[in-house]
Structure 1
């Protein structure tokens, strides 16, 4: 199944598709998400649990208390709906981008070609993190420390997977440059 998914991603990894999903990702991350955040963190100083690399249950609940009742309701809505769509968009962008770069930097039989779907791990972590945050918000004002700890661990996993995806992209760019130089020497 993973091999089929990897092949599918490579088949659709055109410059146009990468660009379309990149633009969608930028619209959401630079426009929609900051607007949504302003609804539960108007001064933009409290932070968002999703953007933290780990947090304690106390830190999480201090933020949730500071959001206020309406802010928590809005944050729950964002977590349950918007933060389901956004990971799908950024993962599609990252998978297509890795596929595009790897096709140019590595031979079709290279193991690296199969790593084009690695960004899916970040999405799994993101969805798990969201589930923990939603559980905390649904339990509020009761504390769900286990959910907070789970959300924190899942968020750290997400960021590690995302960072690894960036490293894979850089490796792909280097491989592409090397392949281009080799091809130029042979022509």
Structure 2
């Protein structure tokens, strides 16, 4: 096992899970919700964040950057460099702790590290978004294409992490592995 999986083993318990769950819920319920509302208000219309778009459409991304306007672009940049640097840590830790609780008795524990690979892609996506926001009015299709690829990989990794959590829950409920004891 890696030092990081050992670290996850040491911190994984019900108190850590509850703390991370409460912290996680605060982001979509308050921090990110308010950030999106402020961004839309500054833009004068509902655009939403690039981070949450699904699919591969670099032209849409560049249009969104233009549609934000200067105030929303500046605000979105601040959100990407503050709130959206903390949120990936929170969800990665939460997913890592859940996967550790569910799968700690199985070989192949490397899957508990998958949420942290997602964190790296989320950070790369944030850097690309900040680049597009701060370089406007200059727009680059290659940067938007790379951003869309990174975003797709991020969503694939998030979906895979959630799928592994559901798989671990099914194994625990079916009794195929030792039930959660943390």
TM-score by structure 2 length?
0.89
Alignment partner, residue 12 of structure 1: 11
Alignment partner, residue 68 of structure 2: 67
Specify which of 142, 146, 163 is matched with residue 138 of structure 2: 142
Q: CA deviation at 1:114?
A: 2.8
Whether the 8 Å contact between 2:66 and 2:136 is mirrored in structure 1 is no
1:27-86 Cα distance to aligned partner (Å, 9 max, x none): 012111110111111377322110112343321121122211100100111111211111
Specify which of 128, 132, 149 is matched with residue 132 of structure 1: 128
Alignment partner, residue 117 of structure 1: 113
Structure-1 separation of matches of 2:103 and 2:45: 38
Between structure 1 and structure 2, the one with the greater Rg is 1
Whether the 8 Å contact between 1:79 and 1:134 is mirrored in structure 2 is yes
Runs of 5+ consecutive residues of structure 1 not aligned to the other structure = none
Structure-2 separation of matches of 1:26 and 1:148: 30
Alignment partner, residue 159 of structure 2: 163
Q: CA deviation at 1:111?
A: 2.1
Measured on the aligned residues, the alpha-carbon RMSD in Å equals: 2.0
1:152-177 Cα distance to aligned partner (Å, 9 max, x none): 11110010000000111111111112
Runs of 5+ consecutive residues of structure 2 not aligned to the other structure = none
Whether the 8 Å contact between 1:54 and 1:153 is mirrored in structure 2 is no
Whether the 8 Å contact between 2:56 and 2:152 is mirrored in structure 1 is no
Alignment partner, residue 79 of structure 1: 80
Specify which of 150, 154, 157 is matched with residue 154 of structure 1: 150
Matched residues, number: 177
SS of 2:175's partner is helix
SS of 2:48's partner is coil
When residues 52 and 96 of structure 1 are mapped into structure 2, their CA distance, relative to the original with a 3 A threshold, is same
Structure-2 separation of matches of 1:36 and 1:28: 10
Alignment partner, residue 28 of structure 1: 27
Q: CA deviation at 1:180?
A: 7.2
Whether the 8 Å contact between 2:58 and 2:144 is mirrored in structure 1 is yes
